[in-house]
Amino acid sequence: MHMNKNNDDHDAVKRVTRASGQPASGAVSKAKIPWLAVFALAMGMLVYGVAESYGPVTAVTSLIPQQYYYLSLSVAFIAGGFGALLAGYLTDKIGRKNSFMIVAAMVLIGTAIFLAAPTNAVALVISFILVGMAAIGMETPILTALSEFIPPKYRGNLLTIVQNFGNIGVAIVFIPAIIGLSAAQDTVAYALLLVAPLIALVLGYWFVTESRPWEAVTGKATTDVKEAWKSVEKEEAELVQPTAGMGFRYLFITVIGIVQDVAFVWITYDIGFLYFTDYSSLIPLIGGITMAIVGIIVGVFFVHRLSRRSFAIVSYGILVVLWALLWAYVVATGSTAGLPLLLLVTILFIPTELTWSTRAMLEPEVFPTKSRGRWVSYARTVVWIVAGVITLLLSVYYFPSSQAQFSYMFNVSSAIVMVIFLLGLLLSVAWYFKGFETGGKSLAGHDVVA
């Protein structure tokens, strides 16, 4: 495995100390992190987690009629693809901060529409669409902004940790059902969909500044591009060398994104609702908590120790192995409940989080600053639409209506999901040999010649 040579001399203790604002040396103190801006963007990711759970909550709590369950498991995600496209355009056109503010406001509007007409099916679908567009679109300006104002040696750590607030949002939404307050589950979701965006908007307005590298490369400011990046990075870092063509970069990011989204949606929401009904509310809660814990541990202690290329192979490889293990167990035992089954589902959230971390780091790192938002959104548009359609079709065609159908439906859907997971591993291997390293390197390499 490739070790990131820019970070090898920093152990976990030093990194945690520096991240907390206590420099270990005079040199390190130069690389400052705007923590309030990071927190504002983290609140945006919390909104993302709550909002993308919005549809599944209506299915699990039977808020939406049973015959329309597949809409709540897919419409918001498909709409999110178009939201990503809009957010990407705005991110490059009007800036990272302004696009973040707009999509956060869209969550408020979508939530308000439903609350104004909670029994209207049309309002519910419109609300799904607006909230899905905004929530999933929100990741583009968040990840792009983080990649452009965090020093290289901390960038992977914070990209991983901040996106984990999405997992916390997922967990919070499903907590009421676990403590016997299922009736309050939708209320909690709606309250968060109103409060969290407001917090994100206020903090974003006051503490998130526009990206200096973006302003420099787009001519929004007279600052030299090199100087703009130096003002962010403070310390010297090896320039990233983008040797792979844009087509291959886009293909790689898009495919691993589809695989990760299918894994996240299918494992977090769908298999519980479709096959393990006793755990339909428990699995998302466990998943949100597990992924948040794994993401924080990995983000603090591990992402800087492996090259991004090695990290991708490890993440998608573990996903394949653990999915095979769950599939084999269910086939061998016929179990739809029980502690062993719940344990196997729980450990599947480890690679689900690792693959999400891989995406969070690589999506903004492999594209140039001037078009970073658009390329990320082009990928995310295809990712969410394709992943949404896949989970929609799997939900519609492989929803067992009786115990007699369970084995056949589960086997076919599991085989399809396995093929998808293997595709992610294949592209990770291809990137290992044909891609380029971004971990700990200055993204100025996309914009300037050394």
- Express each pLDDT in 251-281 by its tens digit: 999 999 999 999 998 998 889 888 998 888 7
pLDDT at position 18 = 37
Q: What percent of the chain has pLDDT over 90?
A: 45
Amino acid (one-letter) located at 214: W
Angle at 212 between CA 152 and CA 221, to 5 degrees: 155
pLDDT at position 319 = 98
pLDDT tens figures, 117-132: 867 778 877 877 787 7
- Across 3-31, average pLDDT: 39
CA torsion sign for 91, 96, 98, 100 is: positive
Rounded Cα gap, residues 137 and 118, in angstroms = 24
403: domain CATH number is 1.20.1250.20
pLDDT tens figures, 44-62: 888 777 766 655 655 555 5
Whether the predicted pLDDT of 108 surpasses 60: yes
Closest CA to 233 of 6, 32, 16: 32
- Across 432-448, average pLDDT: 94
**Inter-CA distances, 391 with 107, 125, 261, 264, 267, Å:** 23, 18, 10, 11, 11
Structural domain for 358, as ranges: 35-206+236-444
Whether the predicted pLDDT of 177 surpasses 80: no
pLDDT tens figures, 369-386: 999 999 999 998 999 889
In a domain, 308, yes or no: yes
pLDDT at position 303 = 92
In a domain, 193, yes or no: yes
Mean pLDDT, the chain, rounded, equals 83
For the chain, the C-alpha Rg in angstroms (whole number) is 21
Half-sphere exposure (Cβ direction) of 397: Cα atoms closer than 13 Å: 11
Band the pLDDT of 349: cuts 50, 70, 90.
Answer: very high
pLDDT at position 29 = 40
pLDDT at position 367 = 97
Which of 425 and 76 is assigned the larger pLDDT?
A: 425
In a domain, 413, yes or no: yes
pLDDT tens figures, 73-105: 566 667 777 888 999 999 999 999 999 999 888
Name beta bridge partners: 239.
442
In a domain, 332, yes or no: yes
Least confident of 56-65, 106-115, 413-422: 56-65
pLDDT at position 2 = 43
Q: Copy the structure tokens of residue 239.
A: 């320039």
Is pTM beyond 0.85 here? no
pLDDT at position 259 = 97
pLDDT at position 179 = 61
In a domain, 17, yes or no: no
| Three-class secondary structure of residue 298 per DSSP | helix
pLDDT at position 183 = 59
Whether the predicted pLDDT of 71 surpasses 80: no
Amino acid (one-letter) located at 141: P
pLDDT at position 242 = 94
Helices (H), 183-268: 185-207, 212-217, 225-233, 246-265
Rounded Cα gap, residues 32 and 388, in angstroms = 39
Band the pLDDT of 295: cuts 50, 70, 90.
Answer: very high
Whether the predicted pLDDT of 37 surpasses 70: yes
Band the pLDDT of 3: cuts 50, 70, 90.
Answer: very low
Rounded Cα gap, residues 288 and 165, in angstroms = 9
In a domain, 60, yes or no: yes
Least confident of 286-300, 322-336, 384-398: 384-398
In a domain, 3, yes or no: no
**Total number of domains in the chain:** 1
Which of 82 and 325 is assigned the larger pLDDT?
A: 325
In a domain, 222, yes or no: no
